């Protein structure tokens, strides 16, 4: 069985004052029944990690460079993230793929860098609305899975997040049947490539997850948690999603 994970992606939101939401969440869940993760912007990663050092909530980053060091102005390497207190890193998010032209190959290189540094990568995949309407969703997901994961993936650390691009921040979500179809497909594809160990890879759903719809999403086949955007910024909202996952 895959472990359950509720991951919050703060994206480009939050400052030092917002760390109070993280500590409030820790007070709400002193011993959570599922894994809980917050991925704040890089500027507050280290202070958030310090604030949560005695809590049962992990801290992660939202990207890393494929190289461990070097002449890459403005970039941050996976070992640097570990030094700052990160345990996870989100890679290949559709906003990175769109805004920065990231490819499956570059995501795979970053994923390998994360493994090498000891981080757990959350590799994001998902189709656009046009691809969904053309009946290409599974083909796109399959291609991204194949290209974004290195052959030497550490299955104990790997996490996959299915985020249909058209559902991110829009309030729209696929039907439960559509989510189940993709998640079942991902599990089968991973088992075929990596063997029985792939049964334990957490498969997260992301895209307009809220306390009100979390329970039915978590009851869906092969959904082991969520990668949450806006609803993770406030402890009360994210807490409702965590509670739903605990009850699933």
Dist CA 12 CA 43 (whole Å): 10
Dist CA 205 CA 223 (whole Å): 7
The pLDDT assigned to 173 comes to 84
pLDDT 10s digits, 179-190: 999 999 999 999
The pLDDT assigned to 106 comes to 98
CATH of 5-247, picked from 2.40.280.10, 3.20.20.70, 3.40.1260.10, 1.20.1250.20, is 3.20.20.70
Q: How many helices (H) and strands (E) in the chain?
A: 10, 8
Q: How far is the CA of 170 from the CAs of 162, 173, 210, 222, 230, in angstroms?
A: 16, 8, 12, 23, 11
- Report field, pTM of the whole predicted structure over 0.85: yes
The pLDDT assigned to 15 comes to 97
Among this protein's residues, is 163 annotated catalytic? yes
Among this protein's residues, is 246 annotated catalytic? no
Q: Residues 65, 93, 127, 181: which is the catalytic one?
A: 93
Dist CA 24 CA 26 (whole Å): 5
Q: Residues 95, 102, 131, 163: which is the catalytic one?
A: 163
Residue boundaries of the structural domains of the chain: 5-247
The pLDDT > 70 percentage for the chain reads 100
Residue 148: pLDDT band by 50, 70, 90 thresholds?
Answer: very high
């Amino acid at each position: 069985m895959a472990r359950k994970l509720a991951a919050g992606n703060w994206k480009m939101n939050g400052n030092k004052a917002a760390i109070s939401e993280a500590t409030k969440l820790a007070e709400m869940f002193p011993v959570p029944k599922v894994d809980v993760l917050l991925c704040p912007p890089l500027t507050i990663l280290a202070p958030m990690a310090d604030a949560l050092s005695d809590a049962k909530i992990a801290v992660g980053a939202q990207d890393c460079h494929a190289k461990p060091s070097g002449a890459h102005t403005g970039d941050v390497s996976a070992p640097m993230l570990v030094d700052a207190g990160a345990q996870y890193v989100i890679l290949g998010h559709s906003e990175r793929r769109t805004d920065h032209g990231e490819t499956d190959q570059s995501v795979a290189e970053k994923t390998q860098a994360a493994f090498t540094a000891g981080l757990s990568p959350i590799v994001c995949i998902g189709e656009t609305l046009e691809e969904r309407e053309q009946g290409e969703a599974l083909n796109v997901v399959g291609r991204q899975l194949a290209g974004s994961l290195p052959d030497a993936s550490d299955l104990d650390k790997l996490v996959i997040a299915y985020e249909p691009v058209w559902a991110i921040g829009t309030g729209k979500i696929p039907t439960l049947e559509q989510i189940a179809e993709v998640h079942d497909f991902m599990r089968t594809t991973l088992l075929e490539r990596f063997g029985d160990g792939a049964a334990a890879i957490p498969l997260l759903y992301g895209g307009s997850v809220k306390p009100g719809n979390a329970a039915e999403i978590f009851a869906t086949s092969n959904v082991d948690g969520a990668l949450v955007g806006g609803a993770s910024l406030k402890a009360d909202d994210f807490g409702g999603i965590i509670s739903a996952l605990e009850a699933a």
